[in-house]
Every structure is written in structure tokens, then in C-alpha cells.
Structure 1
């Protein structure tokens, strides 16, 4: 071997070693592709064999069937030609025999391959397994999977039955995959109970592999819904989607979540998932069976969307180039109706090809079953309430002025055709007094489109219209000043406009002419962030402009004055002007977004939240009516903030989710919105939804290189959501990362908070590392100025020491209580005292412990925490009873019983426990009377 070849060989081995240490993904695949290329170039066939043996499973997991089949076929050929040089197992994690398990089903998943060729793969596989002394369970499982692709359900059942008579071996499909497959087959046969049982086994035994348990969790969603296990279905949906969403070949799992969203009414969420993942639908061009099921799932979701009256909603990503082979080309995103129709049509065509290959109607029946889901509905909201405003179509304008308003509204929406149509219809009414304003709108449209030459043509038409109504002074001014007076000016134009203003004043020009100049100059000052310079000009314009100004200049003047008044701090005047403008019936039909937004914000600042909400909801309705996603997102966000101030977190989260959806459609940054949404969802008790959104924010921020301290804050909240969702492992990881990140960013208060939460989590699980974590958090607290939660950390440290048998923890509890008392945190001081009493009882210091618990109970009850007080008294009574002092225990239990309402669960439980104590004291009559009282 030449020195060059030797160097290349070492490089190939290095690439393969690096690839084996990475998860399946673009980075790993690039290394393998490079290794294959170099090995082929150098003629290093053994290394090329090993590289392709690694490439085959990588391509399988990534959904690249072409590469998988090509790589596998090359390796089989080499092995058959020289089994010594190219052994079944060249030292990779998945050998050649194991890889056979994927091949037949991949061939069967494409209708171009005849049944005979698929059968030949199984014959070859079976022969090789027997010659190698390998069991047949893997062969039978593959035959089962292929039988379903061929529409032979009876044969699929036979293969499973035969598989179950054989012992498992290293070439059997993994336990997770087998149970997942069996659960899907049970569901197919109508046995939801068996499907659920198998799914539960997967979870209980913590079985997993490449796409499990997330695939099984997505398949079990409909059986859980049919069984009425809605909470379990929501949890499975959240877990499965959270793991599947980063899988590049994850659409076969995602599609089940689209169906789930359709039948549970979570249509906004379903559209969000579809828009996020739709390019993956055709990820593997070869896998027609996956295309079929994915298209049918899209059809199910969009049937529900169209039924809900949202068929005109554009679906972002539905014009992605990768979809062209399935759906045809599209110049822009398809609407929900268009995409639905295209998806069903494509699915029908694929079904036709499969049924022709298979010689039956299996795929047609599967498609019919999916279509039948259009009549299936369950009320199972994900993340609480949803918001979908009902917006009536605006009434047809009755006069030319109304068409001006309509034109301005469509201009705001950047709807050029809508503007032109409104102007044309207004001009057709031949209202000479309004014609100049219609032409002015066309000037603005041309400027908005970046065409000043066209704007000049429309400006000339406006000048002619002004002269026809006798507004010669205004016409002359606009001839002299040009487009600077019509929205095409800059700060550089202020001197010339100011000169024109002085000339108009000297000439005694009409108030409207002077006011127009004042407003134009003021607008340029505001654009340059000089509100103090703009304000006197606007005040003067307001004073001289008549209410019946024919140029409708007052409308623009009001919007500018509102901005200026707010920016110079004249908030009371701004609030009054906003109220007048938004309540004026003459402004009906005009774009009042600035006025409504400012009015709502000022009312909220004044803590008039109910009034603020009414105005904000009106703003949102008007925003939805013009259908501009960015404006809708901003308006919905304002409404959400006000609802949050009112403590209506569920409604606030629904509005913010609506805002997020429209911000995505407007292609605006969404990290901040999603973070706020997650916090609202957590406050509203929707932990699983909050967890998904916090994790999305965390991953996005991490990818963007966000500063460690900011990333730590997100990780802290992610931990809170994970803990609330009973995902303790995820909470542990999130809080651990939060501590490390906060340390990197020297955000010591944040590090202390995260460490406190992590320590508490470890305490709950009895983990001895809790003490070290909490002491580290206490060190961080000492480096954070004014950190107020030191009592919480000392409370945790004391408990950790006492749980580890170190009585020094009592001193930590005493110090925690002292600090809490000094901070006037009375409830927390009592809570620490309760903890101390329980440990004293556990240590056998009964009298001291009972006295401490009773004192804590009185203090807690005084603070309104009756249940913790009662719990402490019960603990004290049990300690006394265990020490043989039952009579004293009876008195304390009676006190605890008196604290809680009759008929409640705690009252009943304490009563029965008291009765048991009385039985032990020989007071059976009293015990029976107590039991009768709660029977």
C-alpha cells in the first residue's frame, strides 16, 4: 500500500469512528458519505464495506430508502463474492443479517415492486438466517409487516402467531418494536383494549429503541380517545410529539398527531404542526406507503379545518418544492381547502396503484376509514381554551366617502387589488368632493409599492380633482411641493416645507392648506423621533382645522397627535383624544388601529382593565377583519396581556396562541411570544402545553447562541413546566443545565433559584446529592445582592442533613425560621417550624416534637393554611400513638378534625383514624358512633 493510500485509510477510519459516536443526522451522514467516497477512490474495499455497513442503518433511520437499498445491495454482493474479506459482521453495531429485517418492507412500500420480488427477499433472508443458525422470529416479523402492506391481514395474523411460538434471539425485532407493532395490529382488528394493554407494557417496562415509544404513543391516541381516557391521550400526544418533532423522518409519527388534533378539535394546533412539518411529507421519495398515510392524515385534519369555516386559510409550506411530485407545483401557499383536495386526490391515486399491485382493495378501504373520521369528534382541548374570532364581512359602503375608508383599510392590509377596486367603485359614484381623497389613496399605494413615478401620475390626477372642486390653493401647493406633501418626504424636506408653511401663513391661506403643511412637517419630525418638535405643530393644526375638512385631514391628524401626546408624556390628553376618536360614529369603517391600541394601553396603565379589555377586543376584531397577520398578532398579544392582568390566564393563553400563529404566518420572530405563552399556560395549569413551548424556546435560543444567563432563565422555567407535567427526569436535566448556564453568565441569583429547585426535586426522591446541590445554591445566593430566598435554601439544607442522619440540620431549620421571621414571611416561618416538629417526632423526641407541631399548626391556621396545620396535628397524633400515648393522640386528632368542614374527605379520614384509636382504647361505642357519623 502506498504512503498516500495509507494516509487516506487512516483518514477513512477516523471518519468512521467519528460517525459512530454521533446520533443519526446530517453531521453523521456527511461523515459516512465522505468515508465512502474516499474509500472508493483509494480502492480500500474493506473500509468501503465497513462504511456502507454503517451507512445502511443510518439511511434507514433517516428515511433515505434509495441510499439504504443501494448500500445494502453493494454489501450483500461483496459478502457473497468473498465472505472472508467481507464478513457478516465487520465490527459494526448492526450486521448484515440484522439489516435484512428492513429490506422487504421497504420494497413493499413502493407499488412499483411486484409481490414476487418482495417474496424473493424473504426467501433469501430465511435461507441466510437458517444457514447462519439464526432463529426465524425476525423473518416472521418482517413477513407480518409486509403482509399488511400487501393487504393480507389473515397472513399477517398467521405470521404473528408463528413468531410467538419461537424463542427470541439477537436477530429478533426489539421488544419495543414488537409490542408497538402488535398494538397497531390489535387496533386494526378492532381490539382497542389489547392495543392499550400492549402500549402500557411498553411504558411500564420502559421499553425503547430508535422511534419507540413515540411511535407507539402516536398510534395509541385514537384507542385512548375511544376508551374515554382523555388525560392519557393528551399526555401521550404531548410526549410523543415532543420526541418526534426533531426526527428528520418523523412524519409517519407526526401524521397521527394531525389526526388527533382533527378529532379533538385542536385545529389551530394541528395547522401549526402541519405547517412546521409539511416539507417532511415527501422526505423519502421512494416510500409511497408513507406518502399515502401522510396525505390521508393531512386530509383528515383539513376536512375538520374546512368544516370549521377556515377553508380559506393559507397553509404555510404547502408550496414547498419537495411536495411537487405528490401535489403538483404551486406558486404560493395553498389554502386549507386546496391542500385538502390535493391531498385526498394524491392519496387516492397512490391507493389505486397499491391495490392494483396487491390485487385487492386494501388501500381503498384504509382510505375510506380515514375519511370516516370526519364524523368523529372528542372535546379534548390541548393547552386549555382556543380562540377563533367570529368576524362578519364588512358592509358594502353606501357612498364615495365609505369607499375612501374601504380603500384606506385595504391599503393598511397591503391589498393592492382591494385598494384599486375600492377607488374605482368610489370614483364611479362621481362625488367630486371625495374624488381627491380617492386619488390620494392611489398615490399612497404607489409609494407603498416603491413606484414614485406611478405615484406622480396619480398625484397629477388628484391635483386636477382638487381644482374641479375649487381647492386651487391646495392644488397649487401640491404642484409646488410635490410628493413630499403626500407621504414621500424625509427630514431633508422639512426646510422647504417650513418655507412653504410661512408663505401660506403670510398669504392668509385657507386653514386646511396650513394644517396640511403642519401635519406633514410634524409627521417627518415623528419619523425622526422628535416628538417635542412635532407636538406644537400638531396642536396648531388641531386648533385651526375645521371639523368638516373636505380633505379628511383630521383623521390623519388625530392618529399623529395620539402618537405625539403619548411620546411626550401627555397621557391624559392622549387618553381623552383616543376615546373621542374611537367613539366618533363618523370614524366607522376607518382604520382605527393606532387609536384603539393606544386607548387600550392607556386604560390598562390606569388599571381600568375591564374597559381596556373591551377596547382591545374591538381592536382584535378589526385586525382580524382586515386579515393582516402582523397586525392580528400585535392586537391579540395586547388582549392577552390585559386578560393576564385580570387573572384570566386560560383566555390570555388562548389569545397569545392565536397571536403566535399569526406571527409565524407573518414570518416574525416568535421566541418572546412563545415564552410568554408558555408562562401563561403554566399559570393556567396546562403543564404539558407549557413544557412543549418552553422546550421549543430553549432549543431555538440554544441554536441561536443566546447568552448563558438568558438561556438559564428559560431552562429554569422549562424545569418548572416539566415538574408540573410529572416529567421529573426532564426537570432534573433542565434545572441542572440552568445552574451551569447561570454560573457561566455569573447570574448568581438565577443559579441559586435553579439550584433550590433541583435540590428540592432530589429531596423528594431521597437522593443524597440534594445536600451538595443546595449548599452550592447557598453559595450562589451569597454572591447575589439582596437574595431573598435564603430561608428556602436553609430549609432544604436542614431537611437534607436530617434525612442523612445529621442532627446539625436542626440548626439550619432554626436559622431559616429566624430569617423568614425577619423578612415578615410569617407563613414560611410556620412552615419551617412544622418541618422541625416532624423531624423531632421521627427522632423520638416526642414531647418536643408534638409541642413544636402544635405551635406550627396554630400559626399556619392563623395564616389561612388550614390543611398544612391539620396535617401537622395528625403527624403529632400518630407520633404519640406510636409511643403508646393514645389518649393524648385522641385529643389532638379531635382538634384536627374540628378544623376541617364536615363531609369533606379530610374530615372523613381523620374521623375514621380517630375511631381506630378509640377502638384500641376499648371505647368501641364512641368509635362506632364516629363511624356511623361518616357512613
Structure 2
């Protein structure tokens, strides 16, 4: 199927070639290039065919199809020999440059005899000499062949490296990499890294660099004690080669790096992301490099006892780590043997063995904001018992186990879930026999217990409908067992869970309050109508009643709902104290503190929590301490005492480690600590707590909450300038199966992608950022319920298209943003977008872009008029003065200097005289500076320009805005020097 319309003339062909050059390397680009060669052969002119063949060879070379590249080059060489005059200087340069591409392609194919490769190098040398070209590129290829074969490389290296570069030499970045690899082969890590520094620092780059050098530098950086630099290099380097069929070796080295730094779980994640390389890579040498890196990873996973973990491998079957390792190892051994047989050495087998024999270089190196172990990715990974206390022993004998589970459940003890989990497994077995023991009770009672435990866990996950149904089912079984007290408790829990189910509609809060009122009344009747309640059951019912009223107060915030909560809390506290139900005494005091907090009396809430902490320290239960400290920490945050909040929350986390993972909401403790850290100006620490909170939420099944927290962490990392961290985190999240399958909330997934697109832009990957923004703009166009978000995304997309010089597409997307803005106004956002597009077009196209730039500004003027009519006040720069300033800048770029000066004078008039506000003074000073430059330099009127500048400097200095005077002083000095 054609991928592009068939060109009807050479102009259309050249346009199609140009468009294809913008596509990423891969089958789509290659197929189109093949079609364009067929089209070029129909024209009488030979030059279009030459250009089409050059594009096709590039597609084969960077699309990892080395077998086809030399065939295309042979056609080009024949055309050159037959019609040398059709090759202008540029085409001739490209032809001789690509002798090196052919040399590289031949090295990748073990079926090409060594003699044929040497013959090709002789051909290259002869051609270069005949054309009067320097031989340094030839010697570079001779050195690379020697290194590939495994010969003594020093003579070949010196013949190449000692020669001066020519116009046909490889780029600086590529040659730096080859020199560094020479030192690396010699075992000199330090010298290799010094050689690589210009590339690692981003000073030299090309199509393959710095991704190639970064992948090779990973292990030397570790061996020389630079783990933090290695981490940064991994994040930046991996993004440059991921899913790239022309860089399989680079991907393999990143997998190896993960395996040798305790990041096996990340390695498996990256392997899954690059699964397509197993089938897409047509280069045997590149495949050998990739497979060896894969085997290093899988070997490490297997050695750690996780060989049965799933691993992404060849299409068509499901793989485990151990199974894929065997497959990969066999294929890689065969490839290495084929290369060695061709080369007459053991170099490739030896290099492969050296990689497989490497020991880990670090036990653990935190590579991303989402560090995970193999235990984390294993299905149903068991939760380790805490090390800081002795967990309650789960009895082996069934009767003792059942009785202990119930006793712990009565106490609200955090070890109860472990007992229920064990009982659930035993009771589900086909050979389960229930004890014939009156103390244990009938099987129906145990089934009810297990249902009640399952219902409680569903409620913790906010799955309220399931929780309500399970509690009701448990209540029925308790009644069958003749246990009315337990049945009443289960029914009360069902009532509360049902009341928690979110209500639809605008009056959702009012409806929920009414439901909670009815729920409380039902609980009161239930308690009154149930005879023979044990003290712990009655206390729990009172606690549920108080909780229902507390939720009602939380829902409405109404003052009239405060007193009923306190009344119920007092009942609970009095009853629990009278019967010494320790856990419920604590629960009552905590509810009282929460009620004070909800009603706005934070000091009283803190006083209650202080008293509760004293009681817990003296009388227990100890497992209530972490949660209570967490509450006091949140209250202190509300009182703006971030330091004290940080101390409480940190201590709460420390004590939470003494109990099973699900006993305390540690994810919330981490989230609150992140907030405290932000208040204290410690954003990096906040970031660690945010990511830890998210991962804990993910582990307990709260995926929406987890992804929301991760989204906040990604935004914070971007705000901190940790661009690669942000991208790596989001790549990991977007690769999660439910996200990739589109099962996550679509708006949340879009938010993750939007943050990633912004991070790509911040990381100066404009092409990738623009592609993601364009996709998001297209998707959000269908968000009829949220046109404001579409306006935002479309506006950002338009600006990125403008930065890429695609002003036609930018205009189309800006029009989409304007249409969405008409439904959900975003005055400031749209004005900023349109002004920036005008600036970009005038800056890039000068006078030729002036008309279109002014059209953008005309739209911005209409936005400003709408904002003024709606009495909208901008949060940033005033829209009218910002628009006048942009008119000045746009006209200056286009050479319309009188119009520019008039616009800037209007901007200054709209701004008015500067005052104490630094932002206003800065904007005013910038308008003066640009007006001075236009007037003094471009209109060649230095005298009035200097008067303008000197007056402004005096005014700003008097107001104390000395920083704002610096650009004005510099411009004034320049104008005086030119007089």
C-alpha cells in the first residue's frame, strides 16, 4: 500500500523527499523511500533519481537494514561513473561520504568474507586518491575493521588518529567516541572518560551521538567512582536510543547497566519497552550486541531467584526470564561464532563472555524516581514481616488460629489480617475440614468472619459498593450462625459503606448528608434492637455512629452538625472508659480532635491530640501512635508550623515501620511529609516522599490515587529542572499495562502525557515534544465536557509548531484553541499564545512573515477586548500593554521601525510610571530598552534614545530598582560609544 501520493513531476518528488526526511527512521520511512525511487525512475532527468537513491540508502542505514545499503550505493556509484557531471559539489560530497556507510554495513554482516571487506577498503582508498581527497577517512575505516576483527589495533589507530581531519572525516563526536573506545579497550577508563567529555557534556553531537557514547561510558563511570554521573548519563542516553532499530547495541548496554547496579526490575521494564527490537533489527552485529545485553540482564534476574518472572521476548509466545535467557543465549552464541569464523579470531566470543562474566558493580543505585526491586514486580509478592518488632505468631493448629484471629479482630490489632489471610487459604482448600469445637463455632461463622474481613479491605480501597454487599452477606451468615451481635455490626458497616458511595449530580453533597443522617438513625435503631451486645460490639457500634455524623459534618461543614458529633463521641468515650475498651477510648479521642479540626478550631484539635498521645504512650494501643502523629502533623501544617509537622510525620513513619504494611496509611504520611517539605523549602526531599507515597498507593491497589500522586511528582521534578528524571518516571508510568491498554482514566493519562511533552520541550527535544502535543491536541478536541483543557493544550501545541517553523499548522491549531476559548474563556492563555506565535513568525521570517504575525496580534487584540468586557484581570502582565509591546517587537523584527517605536510608546503609556512593584518596573524597563534600541540603533536617532534611557535609569534608581537599570545602562553606553 503506498504511503504517499505518486509524484507527477520532479517538484512533487522533491517535496515528497523533503517530507519523508522528517519521518522517524523505520519501515514507514523506508517503504516511502523505496516508492520514491520507483517514481524517480520515470523521469528523464538523472538527478532526481540520485537524490531518491541517497534518501533510500539513508533509510536503510538508519533503519537497521545493512544488507540493502550497499546495493543502493552500487547504483549511485554506477551513475557517478557514467555521468559524473550530474553530481554537483553537494551530491559528490554525499557520495564519497557514504563509502564509510558501506564499510560499516559490510562489517555488520557475517556472510561477507573478510577479503571482500578489505577489497572494499582498497576501492575506497583508490577512489579517494583519484578524486584528490585526503585519506584520513579511509584510515578511520581501516582502524574500525581491525578493532572489529580483533587484530592488533595500535598500528591502525596511529595511522588514523595521527592524521589531520578532512571534510569527509567522521564528525567530531563520532571520532571522539572511537578514540575513547580505543582507550577503553586498553583498560584506561580515566583516559577514555577524559576523551569522551566533550560529547558527554553535550558540546559535540550528531545523528548517533551522544547516545552511542553515553551507552559506552556507563560502566567506566561506575568503575571510576562516579555513580551519580552514571545515573544522569543513563537517563539521558537511554532516551536517545529507546525503540530505535538502528541502535540495538546501545539499548543492550543500558540493560546491562541496569543488571549491574541492582536495577533488574527497571531492566525488565526497559526490555519490555524495546521488545520490537527482537524482530526489527536486521543487523546481525547490532543484534549480537543487543542480545548479549539482554542475556546479562536475564542471567542476573535468574541468579537472584526470579527466573520465573515474565520477560518480554520474541513475538508469538510468552516468556519467562529463564526461558528467554536460554533462547537469547543460543542465538547470540551462534552469531558470535559466525563473526569469529568470518574474521578468523575469537574476538566476539571473548567480548561476549567478558560481559556475561562481569560481577555487579553496585548493590543498588537509584536510577529513577520510581525505584523498584524484582520483589515489587513479582505477582502477589509477599509482604515481609517488620524487623523492628516480633510479629504475632500465626498458630499452626486450626482452632487456635481461628480463636486468635477473632481475638485480634476484637482489639483492632494490625496482626489480625495475617491470621485471616492464612485462614482464607486453608478454608479454600478442597480438603478443608472445619474443627468440631464449640469454642470455634460452626463453619458458617468462619465464612462470615472471612467475608467481613474482605469487606473491610474493599472499604480501605474505596470500593464502597463491594464493601457494602460483602458486609450484608456476612450479616446474613452471622444470623444463620445465631450471632445477632456480629450480624448487627456487619449491617452497620454495610450502612456506612453504602453511604460512602459517591452521589451523582450537582446536589451530591446535600444528598450524601441526607443519606448519612438516615444511616446514623438506622444504626441507632439497630443498636437498640439488638439484645446481648458484648461491650466491644457496643463500642464499635457507637464508633460507627460517631463516624457517620463526622462524615456528615465533613460533607457539609455546617455548624449545626458539630454538636451532634461531639455528643456521639462523648457517648463512645464514656462507654469505652467504663468497660475499658482501650482501642475505642483512643478512637473517641481521635474523633473529637478531628471534629475540632473540621469545625475550624485547630488549636483545640492539637490540644486533644496532645492528650491522646500522652495516653497512648502510657496505655496504648501502640499501633494507634503512627496514625495519631500523622493527624497532629496535618493539624500543625494547618497552623503553618511546618517544622513541627515534619517532626511529627517523620516520627509517625518511623513507628509505622513496626507494624504490618497495611496497618497504617503510610502513603498518606509520605504525602503529608512532602507537603511539609515544600513549606520548609526542601523540594528534593518532598519529591522522594511523593514518589514513595505513590508507589505505596499503587501496591495497595489505589491506582487512580497513585497515578495522581505520581503526576504531582513528575510536575515537581520538572519544576526542579530534573527533566530526565521527569521523563523517565512518566515513561515508566505510561508503560504500565492498564495505562498502555487505555484502561486508566483518559484525562489522567492525558495529564501524564502532557507533563511528559512539556518535559521533552524543556529538554530541547522539540520534535518529540511537538509530536506528543499534536496528538494530545487531536484527542482533546473531542472533550466536549472540557473545552478549556483543549484550549490550553491546543495553545501550547500551536506555540511548539511555531518554534519548529510550521506556521501553517500552527495557525490551524491556534484556531482550534480560539474555538475552544469561545466556549470556555482562557483569556490570558490565548493572548500569550497568539503573541508568542506573532513573535516567532516575525523573528523567523522577517518582513515576509509580518502579515501573518499581525493577524495573530489582531486575534490577541480581540481576546483583550473580550477580557476587558468581562472585567477579567490578568494574573500576570496586563493584556493590553503586553500586546502593545509585542506589536513593537514584531514590527522591529520586520524592519518597520517607526511602527515599532509607536507601539512601544503606547505600551509605556498603558503601563504608566513605574512604582515599587518589581514586576511592573521590570516590564516597564524592558519596554524602555527596546524602544531605546529601535530609536537609537535602527532609526539612528541616538540623542532622543539616550534621553529616554537616562530618564528611565534615574527614575528606576530612585525607586531602588537597580537590577532593572543594568540593561538600560549597557545600551546607553553602547549608544555613546557609537556617537
Range of TM-score over shorter length? 0.5 to 0.7
- Kindly indicate whether residue 614 of structure 2 is the aligned counterpart of residue 617 of structure 1: no
Matched-pair contact (CA < 8 Å) for 1:24–1:58: no
- Kindly indicate whether residue 799 of structure 2 is the aligned counterpart of residue 810 of structure 1: no
366, 370, 374: which one aligns with 2:351: 366
> Take 1:649 and 1:636, find their aligned partners in 2: how far apart are those partners?
13
Q: What SS is found at the alignment partner of 2:314? A: helix
Which residue matches 2:61? 60
- Kindly indicate whether residue 381 of structure 2 is the aligned counterpart of residue 400 of structure 1: no
> Take 1:205 and 1:503, find their aligned partners in 2: how far apart are those partners?
74
What's the CA shift for 1:368?
Answer: 5.5
Distance 1:133 1:196, change over 3 A: same
**Count of residues in Structure 1 that have an aligned counterpart in Structure 2:** 781
- Kindly indicate whether residue 314 of structure 2 is the aligned counterpart of residue 324 of structure 1: yes
> Take 1:201 and 1:159, find their aligned partners in 2: how far apart are those partners?
24
> Take 1:282 and 1:781, find their aligned partners in 2: how far apart are those partners?
65
**TM-score if structure 2 supplies the norm length?**
0.58
What's the CA shift for 1:174?
Answer: 3.2
> Take 1:689 and 1:749, find their aligned partners in 2: how far apart are those partners?
31
Matched-pair contact (CA < 8 Å) for 1:299–1:343: yes
Matched-pair contact (CA < 8 Å) for 2:258–2:297: yes
What's the CA shift for 1:110?
Answer: 5.7
> Take 2:68 and 2:484, find their aligned partners in 1: how far apart are those partners?
81
Which residue matches 1:895? none
Q: What SS is found at the alignment partner of 2:6? A: helix
Matched-pair contact (CA < 8 Å) for 1:639–1:655: yes
What's the CA shift for 1:604?
Answer: 1.5
Q: What does 1:648-663 correspond to in 2, within 5 Å?
A: 648-656=682-690, 658=692
Matched-pair contact (CA < 8 Å) for 2:468–2:498: no
751, 754, 759: which one aligns with 1:695: 759
Q: What SS is found at the alignment partner of 1:33? A: helix
What's the CA shift for 1:56?
Answer: 2.8
Q: What SS is found at the alignment partner of 1:209? A: coil
> Take 1:374 and 1:738, find their aligned partners in 2: how far apart are those partners?
57
Which residue matches 2:679? 645
What's the CA shift for 1:150?
Answer: 3.2
Which residue matches 2:638? 605
Q: What does 1:121-140 correspond to in 2, within 5 Å?
A: 137-140=136-139
> Take 1:345 and 1:488, find their aligned partners in 2: how far apart are those partners?
60
Q: What does 1:862-881 correspond to in 2, within 5 Å?
A: none
Matched-pair contact (CA < 8 Å) for 2:299–2:325: yes
Distance 1:512 1:232, change over 3 A: closer
Q: What SS is found at the alignment partner of 1:8? A: coil
What's the CA shift for 1:441?
Answer: 0.8
Matched-pair contact (CA < 8 Å) for 1:52–1:72: no
Distance 1:467 1:232, change over 3 A: closer
- Kindly indicate whether residue 840 of structure 2 is the aligned counterpart of residue 740 of structure 1: no
Distance 1:446 1:69, change over 3 A: same
> Take 1:109 and 1:157, find their aligned partners in 2: how far apart are those partners?
22
- Kindly indicate whether residue 442 of structure 2 is the aligned counterpart of residue 442 of structure 1: no
Distance 1:320 1:213, change over 3 A: same
What's the CA shift for 1:639?
Answer: 1.9
Q: What does 1:343-742 correspond to in 2, within 5 Å?
A: 355=340, 358=343, 360-367=345-352, 369-370=354-355, 374=359, 376=361, 392-393=386-387, 395-398=390-393, 399-400=404-405, 404=409, 420-421=424-425, 437-444=449-456, 463-465=476-478, 471-475=483-487, 490=501, 500-501=522-523, 503-504=525-526, 507=529, 511=538, 515=542, 518=545, 541-545=568-572, 546-547=575-576, 569=600, 571=602, 584=616, 597-617=630-650, 622=656, 635-656=669-690, 658=692, 668=707, 670-680=710-720, 695-696=759-760, 698=762, 699=769, 702=773, 704-705=776-777, 740=836
Distance 1:50 1:300, change over 3 A: same
Matched-pair contact (CA < 8 Å) for 1:126–1:139: yes
Which segment is superposed worse, 776-785 or 503-512? 776-785
Distance 1:356 1:816, change over 3 A: same
Matched-pair contact (CA < 8 Å) for 2:414–2:659: no
Distance 1:101 1:259, change over 3 A: same
> Take 1:554 and 1:421, find their aligned partners in 2: how far apart are those partners?
34
> Take 1:682 and 1:353, find their aligned partners in 2: how far apart are those partners?
44
281, 284, 288: which one aligns with 1:285: 281
What's the CA shift for 1:613?
Answer: 1.9
> Take 1:648 and 1:679, find their aligned partners in 2: how far apart are those partners?
13
What's the CA shift for 1:57?
Answer: 1.0
Matched-pair contact (CA < 8 Å) for 1:303–1:374: no
What's the CA shift for 1:572?
Answer: 5.3
Matched-pair contact (CA < 8 Å) for 1:186–1:194: yes
Q: What does 1:95-244 correspond to in 2, within 5 Å?
A: 98-109=97-108, 115=114, 137-152=136-151, 154=152, 156-163=153-160, 171-191=168-188, 195=192, 198-199=195-196, 207-216=204-213, 219-220=216-217
Which residue matches 1:8? 6
Distance 1:660 1:40, change over 3 A: farther
Deviation per residue, 1:608-663 (Å, 9 max, x gap) = 334422443356565998779x9876653432321232334453344346557778
Q: What does 1:84-103 correspond to in 2, within 5 Å?
A: 98-103=97-102
Which residue matches 2:750? none
Provide the alpha-carbon RMSD of the alignment: 7.2
Which segment is superposed worse, 645-654 or 452-461? 452-461
